[in-house]
């Protein structure tokens, strides 16, 4: 069996490569093909078709997407929608045309309705509009679930999707303007420490998030690829009881990087969605013994990786 991983040179793709490289059974049993945008533009159907015709995978882990942080989404909602719709339609269409057995696509908790009860679960995706800050990205990701259901009903195909909570880890995008919260904090802390300046954090620090370490997510995605048989999405997340505030994350990052200067929370900046607590009950019923990396260790390991790889890290 041949496993094609799209978007494999992003954070999650790198994590899957690391997990595979350290697991002799995974390396021996399957052929793994890791591709990035350098191998072809998945927005373009001609280039997407060429990729599938060349590799002829039996399974696809679909990670490729246009992604960005809060302020990037606010500015480019239309672009996020159109580009991700094109990518996703091409990947699923050419998976079908090449008789791919299983496709696992990566969604996000931002697809859930803004006005909802908590914790959110897999049945609630289409219950209302997403938060206005990233409606373009969110609706494009929701449509993967619609496509999966369509391929199941019309063609009997076994395509599914996973919904991770906020992911971080080595090879993340540490861009301060367009990256996500933890990598952005790490970069800002690094620079503030280097320059002997206060650390300014955008927002109040009060919003709550569940964070998942990229290496934990990689292991779960591989498990889903070979063991999860439902079309309906599955949330991959730590428990709601492990939710932390942005302020908690700031404290863990600054401790990990031995930052001693003043911390300022700039409340003139948007907090975004206050909370999006997700239930992981479905996952825990299917995989009750999975052990997540403790958040403080995962943050420390990621900080260490970023400092050691500062010159080459995406930022």
Taking the C-alpha atoms of residue 292 and residue 242, their distance in angstroms, rounded to an integer, is: 11
Q: Where do the structural domains in the chain lie, given as residue ranges?
A: 2-169+210-239+276-293
Arithmetic mean of pLDDT, 84-108: 97
pLDDT band for position 273 (cuts 50, 70, 90):
confident
Q: Do strands 208-209 and 244-245 pair parallel, antiparallel, or not at all (unpaired)?
A: antiparallel
Fold type of domain 2-169+210-239+276-293:
Rossmann fold (3.40.50)
| pLDDT for the residue numbered 72 | 79
| pLDDT for the residue numbered 219 | 98
pLDDT band for position 309 (cuts 50, 70, 90):
very high
Arithmetic mean of pLDDT, 49-75: 90
| pLDDT for the residue numbered 264 | 96
pLDDT band for position 306 (cuts 50, 70, 90):
very high
| pLDDT for the residue numbered 180 | 82
pLDDT band for position 301 (cuts 50, 70, 90):
very high
Higher pLDDT, 202 or 215: 215
Which of 41-55, 164-178, 235-249 is least confident?
164-178
Q: Does 88 have pLDDT greater than 90? A: yes
Taking the C-alpha atoms of residue 255 and residue 272, their distance in angstroms, rounded to an integer, is: 25
Taking the C-alpha atoms of residue 246 and residue 293, their distance in angstroms, rounded to an integer, is: 19
Burial class of residue 99 (count of CB atoms within 10 Å of its CB; 0-12, 13-18, 19+): exposed
The pLDDT > 90 percentage for the chain reads 87
Higher pLDDT, 110 or 50: 50
Neighbouring C-alpha atoms within 13 Å toward the C-beta of 262: 6
Q: Which of 30, 76, 118, 137 is catalytic?
A: 137
Please choose, from the candidates 250, 261, 237, the residue with its C-alpha nearest in 3D space to the C-alpha of residue 296: 250
Burial class of residue 305 (count of CB atoms within 10 Å of its CB; 0-12, 13-18, 19+): middle
Is residue 274 flagged as an active site residue? no
Please choose, from the candidates 12, 214, 210, the residue with its C-alpha nearest in 3D space to the C-alpha of residue 104: 12
The pLDDT > 70 percentage for the chain reads 100
Q: What pTM was computed for the model?
A: 0.93
Taking the C-alpha atoms of residue 80 and residue 67, their distance in angstroms, rounded to an integer, is: 7
């Amino acid at each position: 069996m041949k496993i094609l991983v799209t978007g494999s040179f992003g954070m999650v793709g790198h994590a899957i490569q690391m997990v595979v490289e350290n697991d002799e059974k995974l390396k021996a049993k399957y052929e793994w093909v890791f591709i990035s945008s350098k191998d072809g533009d998945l927005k373009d159907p001609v280039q997407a078709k060429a990729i599938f015709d060349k590799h002829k995978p039996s399974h696809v882990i679909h990670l490729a997407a246009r992604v960005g942080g809060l302020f990037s989404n606010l500015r480019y909602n239309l672009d996020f929608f159109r580009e991700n719709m094109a990518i996703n339609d091409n990947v699923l269409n050419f998976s079908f045309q090449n008789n791919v057995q299983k496709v696992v696509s990566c969604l996000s908790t931002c697809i859930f309705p803004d006005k909802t009860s908590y914790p959110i679960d897999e049945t609630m995706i289409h219950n209302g509009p997403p938060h206005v800050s990233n409606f373009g990205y969110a609706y494009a990701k929701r449509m993967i679930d619609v496509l999966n259901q369509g391929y199941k009903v019309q063609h009997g195909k076994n395509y599914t999707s996973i919904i991770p909570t906020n992911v971080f880890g080595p090879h993340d995008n540490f861009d301060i303007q367009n990256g996500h919260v933890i990598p952005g904090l790490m970069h800002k802390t690094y620079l503030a420490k280097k320059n002997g300046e206060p650390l300014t954090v955008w927002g109040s620090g009060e919003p709550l998030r569940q964070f998942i370490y990229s290496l934990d997510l990689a292991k779960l995605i591989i498990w889903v690829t070979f063991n999860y048989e439902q079309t309906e999405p599955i949330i991959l997340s730590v428990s709601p009881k492990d939710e932390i505030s942005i302020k908690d994350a700031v404290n863990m990052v600054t401790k990990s990087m031995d930052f001693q200067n003043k911390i300022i929370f700039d409340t003139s900046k948007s907090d975004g969605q206050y909370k999006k607590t997700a239930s992981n009950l479905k996952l825990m019923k299917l995989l009750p013994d999975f052990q997540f990396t403790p958040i403080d260790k995962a943050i420390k390991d990621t900080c260490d990786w970023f400092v050691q790889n500062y010159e080459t890290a995406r930022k």
